[in-house]
Structure 1
Amino acid sequence: MRFKTFARVFWAPGALSALLLTSCATSSQSQDSGTQAAANKLGVEVKNFDTSVRPQDDFYKYVNGNWVKTTQMPSDRARYGTFIELADKSEAALKLIIEEAAAVKDRQKGSDTQKVGDLYESFMDTQRIETLGVEPVRPELQRVAALKSADELPELLAHFYRSGVQSPLMVFVGQDAKQSTRYIVYANQSGLGLPDRDYYFKQEPRFTEVRAAYQAYVEKLLTLAGEKDAAAAAKAIVALETTLAEKSWDRVKNRDREATYNLKTVDELEQLTPGFSFKRYLKAVGAEATPGVIVRQPDYFQALAQVLKSTPLPVLKQYLTYKVLDSYAPLLSKGFEEAHFAFRGRTLQGQEEIRPRWKRAVATVEEGLGEVVGKLYVERNFSPESKKRMKELVDNLRVAFKQGIDQLEWMSPATKAQAQDKLSKFNVKIGYPDKWRDYSKLEVVAGDLVGNVKRATAFEVQHDLDKLGKPIDRTEWGMTPQTVNAYYSSTMNEIVFPAAILQPPFFNPEADDAVNYGAIGGVIGHEISHGFDDQGSRSDGDGNLRDWWTAEDKKAFEQRTGMLVEQYNGFKPIDAMTVNGKLTLGENIGDLSGLTVAYKAYQLSLDGKPAPVIEGFTGDQRFFFGWGQIWRSLFRDDYMRQMLLTDSHSPGPYRVNGVVRNMPEFYKAFDVKQGDPSWLPPEQRVKIW
């Protein structure tokens, strides 16, 4: 099943990690109020420190080492940490809201309560789901079986796009990156069942094992659906996907916003894909109003047309049959659900157990009716005071970033003026939307889980298609308020902070400012810095992709970012696999520049006065503690392998250690000297913004 997703996030889609900040004081009931107040003001969980490690040697371990040693990974998780803990808290809050709706006996048809309650109960009704078996997707399987030739693929793939079934291509509606005042259709490669193209080709033993397990998984789903020769079909399907993977762009190339901007008319796109009519495809999707199509990987689409033409029809039908089953397996009877988890949860990510059903049901409601439950979440869990304080922090960070631009020694006045113009046009959204989504056209039917998810997917697709030809909706959010995350949009030129991330340890109203500037201040700075990372910096203040740099400044910028790439290429989290410095460059720039500007903002907040020493820690030390403790995390080995190949974010330890060793302020705060593991010679330290 596939609901709407968004590209630019602070963490990674599907990889939210979190923690609820608690007092660093003891749990003794006899503790006096003064000690408790001091602990709250400190805002740092010193119980998680590993004082056997010096901060100069490994700052991440110093701040989080005891937590890493004593925390057990939940059996239903592939990763765990601060983001996940807060996500669990958000999930529990949503459960109360959703179960209240489900408890209403006579729910008025078409009401939000009816939709929430019926969608939740349709997921929880395991007896009905088991009785139905594969029947809920039988109409989709029959559509595939009725395919008479490859010429009929445009309409079938368009139908699958609207119903949430993966195919070798996908389209979506977004702002035109070079004309940000209009919406347009983008076309993107798709169709792979493994997490990344490299999974099909890497020869290390673990990847060989994963490919064998994947073919067995494909065979299992086909067998459950009654395929006569499932083994042969699975082999052919994996071979077809391998061909698609060979033609697919890798993730580093897909980060290049210029390379992936290829504006074509529909007629030009039709000529690019002889044998596959994009004109018919777009008509069947309902995207005829698009002013053109931005093709992200032109040579992939050219190759895809040839692949579809040369692949025997029976193999295409087997492939599409499998895609239907794989896309909907978590919503079907136990055999499908268990097979899906065994491969996608246990084999790919190392999870020991599937998540409890109620949690998966809550996630389904949240994805399908996100702002319906989000509105109630905000009413119960987010205060106006938090929004006001957050706005003050954002304003302070913007002032610090403005000053930072003026003080850059490597940038010319001409480029500085362009950067300041862009910064002045940043839009900021905090907590929740000013205008809530209208779900009145979404039908939810009691007992019809697959149908409900299909309709929710089609509802989201239509919501986007309806934008074509209309003015840009600047009130829209790309995340729900209950999401523990944040993001920057280059075409909107805006930074967005949902309500759920605005709580400890990211934002603690009771804590001293130093910790808040290091934590949520670093997050704010991270998102602002995305507007000036290696890709975000290609857009101007109006959200248009254009080069506003002088040649000399661009060269100086790339020299600094190149140094950062090399630094992160040297980090080795597991086996022979290292962090991909080019894939993670944008996020690493966001971390380094974000924390740098957050530190500057913290110093400005002191207004020339010395920061207080609390529990023996200086203000600068507490600032860095704030950043360090939000990244504590655990990863299973298989999940780490997947992350290193697919995620544009570095693992938690390097989001701490990789950043602080480039900041002179850290050296001063913790007396880092030459010879210490955190030491970098001054000429090797990177400062970008």
Structure 2
Amino acid sequence: MNRRAFLGTGCSGLGFAVASQVGVAGPAWAAQGKPKFGSFGFDKAGRDLSIQPGDDFWRHGGGTWMKNNPMPADRASWGAFDGLAAKAETDVRAIIDEVAAKKATPGSIEQKLGDFYRAYMDMDTINAKGLSPIQAELDRIAAAKTHEDIAAIIGAPEIPTQSPLGWGVTLDDGNPDRYLVVVSHNGLGMPDRDYYLKDDKRFAELREKYPAHIGRLLTLAGQSNGVAKGQQILALETEIAKLHWDITDRRDSTKIYNLRTYAQLEELAPEFPWAAGFKANGYKDVKELIVNEITAIGPLAKLFAATPVEQWQTYLTYHVIAASSGVLPQAIYDERFDFYGRTLNGQPEQRERWKRATQALNGALGEGIGQLYVAKHFTPTAKAKMQVLVENLRKAFHVRIDGLTWMTAETKVKAKRKLTTFNPKIGYPDQWRDYGALEIKAGDAFGNDRRARAFDVTRDVEDLGRKTDKRRWSMTPQTVNAYYNPVFNEIVFPAAILQPPFFDEFADPAVNYGAIGGVIGHEMGHGFDDQGAKYDEKGVLRDWWTPADVEAFNKLGAKMVAQYSSFEPLPGVKLNGELCLGENIGDHCGVVVGLTAYKLSLKGRPAPVIDGFTGDQRFFLSWSQVWRETVRDEALRNQIQSDPHSPAEFRVNGTVQNVDAWYQAFNVKPGNKLYVAPENRVRIW
């Protein structure tokens, strides 16, 4: 399976790593231009000086900014990532406005972008059409007579719905040169199984509000007995949830990689009509595939067969309408937002239509708009500087591996070989996706959505049986994020994140190493976290560590799990240290490797003191700056429950308290709230 490890809400930026300039005193680098934040790239005014660094470094570094920058009403969180994402939306909108002002050639990418955006924005036409665009799909669901009919609807490429058993096309963890079908459990309308099963006051409230929402939405869509159907769907999804794996097991690469033949799949779960579903999806002659949650597939197939077709019709009807709300009348979207936005995430207001239009455009024609985006907002110079910084971080990681006391020489050789073969992708793809076969029509928002979905599935189907394309990206250039893909052993940094505060051409090098350097180190660290370390330098999932190294690494990981599991972001709600272990290792790696890279860049010279801040202080404060964020309690609770990333507070505080240099930089002593005795600090990389 193509298991990509993402930075989180967004992250990865460019570092100022030109050797002749790194470490030069303030006036020399500042003379080139003015950094966006403060005099050297850090927002000193954003600190909260009433809080000691050793008591809460996150709030010390950004507390005043967080107080003075209230969260917009249409956001569930607001921070550096959100701000850049908002800028990217505005940049995309400006590009579309420019495209719309010109007459586009039919079939050109400009025509497709303009017509898609205008159709999505035309709420008068969408409202006037009512439910007529989706009626054929609802009629098909209503006409289903057998479980085979239901499976065929689930497999239909253009229909966005749910199913207790889902499938798609992915990379083969055991052979990075091929694509395979992957089967996994699915089928829940709320984020995770615990929302249905856990004895928790907040989840109990959601279990009351969820079926009420379903009932209202079905009623708006002209369905009868909405309230009863809402309860029926909740009951069905609760039975599905009982058979789901725990979220921590689902992130275990070894547990979810189960290579099977098609005959073995049918033997494992004979009650599910695989042939009907696969045929509808366009799959032909599937010989081998991957089964993820293997012990759940058989029981879910039994549940599928035991549940009457009429119940599946109700279930599919709700989910297809809910998933299509963006291109259906406003009342439908309002109802969906009321539950998923306001109730689930605490977001008071909807995002403006144009913002949702750019999001939809990025999903349907992402690399089409990406070509125009990078032409305006990403320079060859920025890409070249980023490439230099990546290599500096790679050298620093080699140094860190050499210095490990817990890893044997045999595994060090293999680890450095993997590090050497990391493939960095920066800014944008070398080859853009061809959208020539995707038809986009003026005034047809719903049809454009369906054709775009089918277009993506068609490429997946065509991938089966051919060699993998390592030129592809899994994010658009205008995405504010970064990722590591273990099967291709690649680290990927889209253009949109290569901006302040992550990278600032005119910032002090220590700031850039603390920000984008930490991000690069984070993504490199994913190649050696508790899951990424299971893949060798060729991207093959296999055992390549010595048993002694595995044991030593697991002991350090368990220590980090215990540490993060003690953190309590909300009263009575603690982090799941196992769930967020991989990301926490990535953050740990990002900071220690980034700091090492900064020290190497000085080439033996002392770091300059700028505005009274030492180099190490500027480095750590920069890390805190990229993670300053406010978040609504409801969204924070959801993140803790179902997101492998720790909340921003602990991506700062949890990380620095394991780094000796941070204690020295800020004179952190016993008695400070973040102080951890040296023997209890977790030092992995």
Contact 1:64 1:629 in 2 (8 A): yes
For the 8 Å contact 1:163–1:455, the answer to whether it is kept is no
2: CA distance, partners of 1:292 / 1:393: 41
Identify which range, 198-207 or 358-367, moves more after superposition.
198-207
Counterpart pick for 1:121 among 118, 126, 136: 118
- Please tell me whether the aligned partners of residues 566 and 581 of structure 1 are also in contact (alpha carbons under 8 angstroms): yes
Please name the residue that 1:348 is paired with: 344
Match of 2:475 in 1: 479
Give the drift of 1:202: 2.2
Report the CA distance between 1:290 and its aligned residue. 4.3
Q: Which amino acid is 1:78 matched to?
A: A
Counterpart residue identity of residue 678, structure 2? P
Is 1:671 the equivalent of 2:664?
no
Q: CA deviation at 1:6?
A: 8.2
Equivalent in the alignment of 1:630: 626
Q: CA deviation at 1:170?
A: 2.0
Name the counterpart of 2:581: 585
Structure 1 equivalent of residue 74 of structure 2: 76
**Contact (CA 8 Å) 1:173, 1:186: kept in 2 or not?**
yes
CA shift at 1:289, angstroms?
5.1
The aligned counterpart of 1:24 is: none
Residue 458 of structure 1 pairs with residue 454 of structure 2: yes
Q: Deviations over 1:433-481 (max 9, x none)?
A: 1101100000111111111111111111111221111122111111111
- Given that 1:79 and 1:636 are in contact with CA atoms closer than 8 Å, whether structure 2 keeps it comes out as yes
Structure 1 residue 90 and structure 2 residue 55: aligned?
no
Shift of 1:406: 1.3
Alignment-derived partner of residue 187 in structure 1: 183
Structure 2 match to 1:470:
466
The match for 1:215 is 211
CA distance in 2, matches of 1:484, 1:494: 17
Residue matched to 1:175 = 171
Describe the shift of the 1:635–1:187 C-alpha distance in structure 2 as closer, same or farther (beyond 3 A).
same
Partner letter of residue 102 of structure 1? A
The structural deviation recorded for 1:287 is 2.2
CA contact under 8 A between 2:362 and 2:369: conserved in structure 1? yes
Partner-residue secondary structure (3-state), 1:428:
strand
- When the two chains are superposed, the root-mean-square deviation of aligned CA atoms in Å is 1.9
CA deviations 1:216-271 (Å, max 9, x no partner) are 11101111122221221111111000000111112101011111011111111112
* Structure 1 pair 182–289 and aligned structure 2 pair: CA distance change class (3 A): farther
Q: Is the 8 A contact 1:19 1:86 kept in 2?
A: no
- Answer yes or no: is the 8 Å Cα contact 2:53–2:666 preserved in 1: yes
Alpha-carbon deviation of 1:659? Answer: 0.5
Q: Deviations over 1:562-610 (max 9, x none)?
A: 1100111011111211111000000000000111011111100000000
Match of 2:132 among 130, 135, 151: 135
Structure with greater contact order relative to length (CA < 8 Å, sep ≥ 6): 2
1:43 aligns with 2:44: no
Aligned residue number for residue 111 of structure 1: 108
Match of 2:58 among 60, 83, 92: 60
Structure 2 counterpart SS, 1:208: helix
The equivalent of 1:548 in structure 2 is 544
Give the letter for the 2:226 counterpart: A
Q: Distance in 1 between matches of 2:273 and 2:312?
A: 17
Preserved CA contact (<8 Å) 2:14 2:385: no
Residues 485 and 498 in structure 1, CA contact (< 8 A), matched pair in contact too: yes
How far apart, CA to CA, are the structure 2 residues paired with 1:321 and 1:470? 35
Partner of 1:380: 376
Cα–Cα, structure 1 residues 84 and 19, in superposed 2: closer, same or farther, change >3 Å? farther
1:153 CA displacement: 2.5
For 1:466, what is the secondary structure of its paired residue? helix
Displacement after TM superposition at 1:36 (Å): 8.6
SS at 2:181's partner residue?
Answer: strand
For residues 301-316 of structure 1, the aligned pairs below 5 Å read 301-316=297-312
Q: Which amino acid aligns with 2:644?
A: S
The answer (yes or no) to whether the contact 1:612–1:619 under 8 Å persists in 2 is: yes
User: Equivalent residue for 2:428?
Assistant: 432
Q: Equivalents in 2 of 1:6, 1:539: separation in Å?
A: 12
Q: How far apart are the structure 1 equivalents of 2:503 and 2:113?
A: 30
SS in 1 for 2:463: coil
Label 1:221 to 1:385 Cα distance change in 2 as closer, same or farther (>3 A): same
CA contact (8 A) 1:17 1:633 kept: no
Q: Is it true that 1:600 corresponds to 2:596 in the alignment?
A: yes
Q: CA deviation at 1:113?
A: 1.4
Say which is worse superposed, 531-540 or 421-430, in terms of deviation: 421-430
Aligned length: 670
1:100 and 2:105 aligned: no
What is the aligned partner in structure 2 of residue 641 from structure 1? 637
How far apart are the structure 1 equivalents of 2:623 and 2:565?
22
State the partner residue of 1:511: 507
Q: Is the 8 A contact 2:560 2:577 kept in 1?
A: yes
Cα distance in structure 2, aligned partners of 1:667 and 1:430: 34
Which 10-residue stretch deviates more, 493-502 or 570-579?
570-579
**Whole-Å separation in 2 of the counterparts to 1:34 and 1:602:** 21
- The answer to which of 462-471 and 660-669 deviates more is 462-471
* TM-score, normalising length: structure 2: 0.95
Q: Deviation string for 1:356-384 (max 9, x for gaps)?
A: 01111111111111111111110101111
Counterpart residue number, 2:26:
none
Distance (Å, rounded) in 1 between the aligned partners of 2:166 and 2:311: 20
Cα deviation 1:591-636 (Å, max 9, x = unaligned): 0011101111110000000011100000010010111100001110
| 1:345–1:300 distance in 2 versus 1, CA, 3 Å | same
With over 3 angstroms needed to count, the CA separation of the structure-2 counterparts of 1:76 and 1:20, relative to structure 1, is: farther
- Could you tell me whether the CA contact under 8 Å between 1:18 and 1:87 is conserved in 2? no
* Residues 147 and 37 of structure 1: CA distance in aligned 2, closer, same or farther (over 3 Å): closer
TM-score (structure 1 length as normaliser) = 0.95
Matched-pair contact (CA < 8 Å) for 2:395–2:597: yes
Residue 510 of structure 1 aligns with an amino acid whose one-letter code is: F
**CA–CA distance in structure 2, aligned partners of residues 162 and 454 of structure 1:** 5
2:580–2:645 CA contact under 8 A, matched in 1: yes
- Once the two structures are overlaid, the 10-residue window that deviates more, 484-493 or 358-367, is 358-367
Q: Which residue of 1 aligns with 2:21?
A: none
| CA deviation after TM superposition for structure 1 residue 109, in Å | 2.0
Distance 2:454 2:565 in 1: 41
Q: Corresponding residue for 1:26?
A: none
Deviation of residue 103 (structure 1)? 2.9
- Alpha-carbon separation, structure 2, partners of 1:382 and 1:314: 53
| SS of residue matched to 1:541 | coil
Q: Which moved more, 1:493-502 or 1:326-335?
A: 326-335
Give structure 2 stretches of 5+ with no counterpart.
Answer: 16-29
Which position in structure 1 is the counterpart of 2:400?
Answer: 404
Distance 1:241 1:231, change over 3 A: same
Is 1:617 matched up with 2:613?
yes
1:365 aligned to which of 361, 364, 367: 361
1:136, distance to aligned residue in structure 2 (A): 1.3
Between 645-654 and 675-684, report the one with greater CA deviation. Answer: 675-684
Query: Structure 1 residues 37, 123: CA separation in 2 closer, same or farther (over 3 Å shift)?
Result: closer
Percent identity reads 46
Looking at structure 2, the residues matched to 528 and 212 of structure 1 have their Cα atoms a distance apart, in angstroms, of 43
- CA deviation after TM superposition for structure 1 residue 41, in Å: 5.3
Give, in whole Å, the separation in 2 of the partners of 1:18 and 1:522: 8
* Contiguous gaps of at least 5 residues in structure 1: 22-32
Q: Judge conservation of contact 2:149–2:276 (CA < 8 Å) in 1.
A: no
2:264 paired with 1:268:
yes
Would the alpha carbon gap of residues 589 and 621 (structure 1) be closer, same or farther in structure 2, given more than 3 Å must change?
Answer: same
Do 1:518 and 1:623's aligned partners in 2 also have CA atoms closer than 8 Å?
yes
Answer whether contact 1:42 1:511 (CA < 8 A) is retained: yes
